[in-house]
A and B are shown apart, each in its own frame.
Chain A
């Protein structure tokens, strides 16, 4: 089993749609979790950290489920500019392979 698993997508969604990504991790002792965004041929950039109680930043909501060992990212009211690859990250040591999102006009 991979340490971090993500659905690679691509997810093709219309503008304004709500889309959710999930990510599972294998190390139950992991303490820190993040979602990064990577545009084509660019470096990854932090989208948001994921806290145990869940957290929201504008249209983005992240959740952590320690019992089931997964984290999720919800994007509401998708914009064209949200098109990118979203990377699930555990403890900064293990990255998921990324989920590609394409928002369509």
Chain B
């Protein structure tokens, strides 16, 4: 399996521009997570999908952030308009959720976003 695939790996954009991050989860996984990592705040959960449905988006910082999962093999995280304080590494992760198993999440390599 190729693992979780994120694109782009690096993104540099100007303040005010729209940014779209993409994620392909591991085939067969039914849960998908978007995280943001900064030096100051560490790794934070932004949103969590289960069976393509957003379950918990309480970590989405503000209305400028939106996430979609149109099907089981694709998700996007969009920032519009972007601001310098959005600069961070954004990770996507997927897992197979079951009430029986103590399942772990597998991470993509991340997108390093710089907003100037």
- Cβ-defined contact, B107 with A43, below 8 A: yes
Q: How many residues of B contact A (CB 8 A)?
A: 20
- Cβ-defined contact, B104 with A34, below 8 A: yes
Determine the interface band of chain A, counting residues with CB < 8 A from chain B: 10 to 19
Shortest Cβ distance from residue B83 to the other chain A in the assembled complex, whole angstroms: 23
Residue of chain B at shortest CB distance from A47? B104
- Cβ-defined contact, B43 with A43, below 8 A: no
- Cβ-defined contact, B105 with A95, below 8 A: no
Residue of chain A at shortest CB distance from B56? A93
Note all chain B residues with C-beta closer than 8 A to A44: 43, 91, 107
- Cβ-defined contact, A43 with B110, below 8 A: yes
Note all chain B residues with C-beta closer than 8 A to A96: 42
Note all chain B residues with C-beta closer than 8 A to A34: 104
